[in-house]
Structure 1
């Protein structure tokens, strides 16, 4: 088949983003606000070093809305310090995770307090997380992956935009695929279908669209993905092109939701770039830090 593989290679249970995506199986626990009106799944998450995040998303709608608004303001600010943007992206990811496992009513109570762009980004991220979470189930053991530092956000954005100029495929779709497949290149591993690289190509598909490049090089892989999409209808029929990338309606809708959020607010990309690799295992959701497996996976606390 022409698609890199039939299902997302990761279980990137993004707490605030994809609840599950990136290369490997993953799924979020279902749930809803408890009697106190709190959102589930918004407890503190370990940072890449194993410590808890400085800011923990609130389970109360009015406070959570304020936290999301502040995170969005930080991500909008190109002069914000890298550490501040990292905290904002991680909080956003955890907040989305909680909203995705909660009720529509709770989500409405939070997003109704946000400005329009922030509300659209939040709703799109929650929708994508739910779609991807429904595609997979918790795994019995942790994955045989390596987690590496991704290319810097500006460098990656340059690759996305260069591929758009050459093929006409909107950069936001390429970024969304990269986010879903390998969390912006953090995951190094082979999918069950034998897919490789930051955009997850099976060898036969890479031979057709890689133009002799390196499947593990982000620039080559992003351009190869753009060629594949272009050959299958993009940019005129993005849904059809994405179907050839992964033959799942949920995948197509999730990638489209992430792409739309970055079209509405380009700062959404900066938040997504900071999303960590979260993996759904039967014991719970683990953070896989940069350096895994040499660095230990950390179980995400739950309410």
Structure 2
């Protein structure tokens, strides 16, 4: 049964540790609820504008991500942030913050170490979309749900690591589950996504999607989070394009640490202020 990629232990990678940053630069969340509401409104507006360039969309998506992560930690700000948003964005805010809070609750205790992961570039967005659609065509599982699982498990394939339970690959399958439902390579994006569709369909999807997701990761919080992200993508195609650009943040005792593309550790190491 594929678990969430919340806590993993990876095999030793061949490349050394890296803390390279993206060419766009790391965004920072606003420090008060009024400014945070403005940040979310502008980011969401940019994402939903059909004339937005790919570079601007990526930057807006990363700002969107850090803004929602900040709001996740400040439920007392919800009303003030929502008051600064148009009505159509309040439901968007609620869905993303709800998902973030549900997933945050699955982190039993922030770590004082950084994980033994490698962070890599995801497959091109068109390649991922075709893989999700292939899963839907074969097994009837809406592609948005496959994308939401991929987003939640490994940030659409960015995280390369093995979970504490032994789950692997972009959709985090246990080898025993892969033997029953997988075909091909557990680390291959197309193979793993189609296998996830096969697994979900075997457990009730799409008619009993909540039940199927619960079998994928047996906690209601996981089910709620995946459904929240999926419904956003169902409501607006550009939500998927934004989620594609979300990066890997890791909750530690010192705060959230961005693990950029190129990050690589063979073994966990203590987190330091320099990582923030």
Task: Assess same fold via TM > 0.5.
Answer: yes
Q: How does 1:59-78 map to 2 (within 5 A)?
A: 59-78=31-50
Q: Deviations over 1:39-74 (max 9, x none)?
A: xxxxxxx98349953x54323444333322221222
Pair 1:219 & 2:190 matched: yes
Q: Which runs of 5+ in 1 are unaligned?
A: 12-22, 25-45
Spell out structure 1 runs of 4+ moving beyond 6 A: none
Secondary structure at 2:40 match in 1: helix
Structure 1 residues 52 and 68 mapped into 2: Cα distance closer, same or farther (>3 Å)? same
Structure 1 residues 74 and 155 mapped into 2: Cα distance closer, same or farther (>3 Å)? farther
Q: TM-score, normalised by structure 1?
A: 0.79
Q: TM-score, normalised by structure 2?
A: 0.86
In structure 2, C-alpha distance between the alignment counterparts of 1:166 and 1:228, rounded to whole Å: 12
Q: Which structure carries more helix by proportion?
A: 2
What corresponds to 1:48 in structure 2? 21
What corresponds to 2:106 in structure 1? 135
What corresponds to 1:281 in structure 2? 252
In structure 1, C-alpha distance between the alignment counterparts of 2:262 and 2:179, rounded to whole Å: 30
Give the C-alpha shift of residue 173 in structure 1: 1.0
What is the root-mean-square deviation in Å for CA atoms of aligned residues?
2.3
Q: Is the 8 A contact 1:120 1:261 kept in 2?
A: no
What corresponds to 1:18 in structure 2? none
Aligned length: 260
Q: How does 1:77-116 map to 2 (within 5 A)?
A: 77-104=49-76, 106-116=77-87
In structure 2, C-alpha distance between the alignment counterparts of 1:98 and 1:291, rounded to whole Å: 25
Secondary structure at 2:113 match in 1: coil
What corresponds to 2:2 in structure 1? 4
Structure 1 residues 108 and 124 mapped into 2: Cα distance closer, same or farther (>3 Å)? same
